Amino acid sequence: MPTHVVLLRGVNLGARNKVPMARLRELLTELGYAEVRTFLQSGNVLLSSRRSGSRVAADVRAAIAGEWSLDIPVITRTVSELGAVLAADPLPGASADPRCYLVTFLDAPLSADGQKRLETGEFGDEQWAVIGREVYTWTARGIHDAKVIRALGSKAVGATGTARNWDTVRKLHALALDG
């Protein structure tokens, strides 16, 4: 059965959007998903299902809304899609400092306006590259001050996304392969 990597946006950040991972695992198992596992408390779920990625995302989003009354964006990738993200690595050398190297997973490709916004933005020494539904970002100052990440958080890019650092992406891929 295929493994899906499910990425929740903006959960368990301080006191807002609390989603207990133990209860989420139980809830998704009750919905018929198999081998449900979580990684960290920041909304990384691995599960097995024959359902499509879009169906998984819709089910998880509805389950969270029903259980916690939260509207949390959910992005999914298959194991092979996550492997392709790692293989693409368009910013050579950025992975040497994985805390400052992020991948933003989008629910759709950037709109033309979103692409233009990135191309014309003032991002200083930050580096970025778009490949498909992912935006790779590196910043020497760390992620909290990343102008590109803030730009991607804007509705102007035409897609919803959630970012993970390079180490987390590698670990999720390894866990998905171990499935």
- Structural domain spans, the chain: 3-80, 83-166
DSSP code of residue 12: S
Report the candidate in 8, 6, 3 with the shortest Cα–Cα distance to residue 42: 8
Query: What would the mean pLDDT of 30-43 be, rounded to a whole number?
Result: 94
Q: Residue 5: is its pLDDT beyond 90? A: yes
pTM of the model: 0.92
Which stretch of 15-29, 35-49, 101-115 has the lowest confidence by average pLDDT? 101-115
* Alpha-carbon span 2 to 153, nearest angstrom: 30
pLDDT of residue 115: 86
| 3-80 matches 83-166 in fold | yes
Report the candidate in 109, 100, 101, 56 with the shortest Cα–Cα distance to residue 78: 56
* Alpha-carbon span 98 to 166, nearest angstrom: 5
- pLDDT tens for 79-128 read 999 999 999 999 988 888 888 899 999 999 988 888 888 888 888 888 89
Task: Mark 93-119 as b/e (b = at least 16 C-beta within 10 Å).
Answer: ebbeeeebbbbbbbbeebeeebeebbe
Q: Residue 49: is its pLDDT beyond 90? A: yes
Q: For residue 154, name the pLDDT band (cuts at 50, 70, 90).
A: low
Question: In this structure, which CATH number among 3.30.310.220, 3.40.30.10, 3.30.70.1280, 2.30.140.10 belongs to the domain 3-80?
Answer: 3.30.70.1280
Query: What would the mean pLDDT of 151-166 be, rounded to a whole number?
Result: 82
- Chain CA centroid to CA 89, Å: 16
Mean pLDDT for the chain overall:
91
**Phi, psi for residue 26 in degrees, rounded to 5:** -60, -45
Q: For residue 152, name the pLDDT band (cuts at 50, 70, 90).
A: confident
Is CATH 3.30.70 the right assignment for the domain spanning 83-166? yes
Report the candidate in 87, 82, 95 with the shortest Cα–Cα distance to residue 45: 82
Residue 25 burial by Cβ neighbours in a 10 Å radius (0-12, 13-18, 19+): middle
pLDDT of residue 179: 67
Q: Residue 144: is its pLDDT beyond 90? A: no
pLDDT of residue 66: 97
Q: How many CA atoms lie within 13 A of 87 on its CB side?
A: 6
Query: What would the mean pLDDT of 67-84 be, rounded to a whole number?
Result: 96
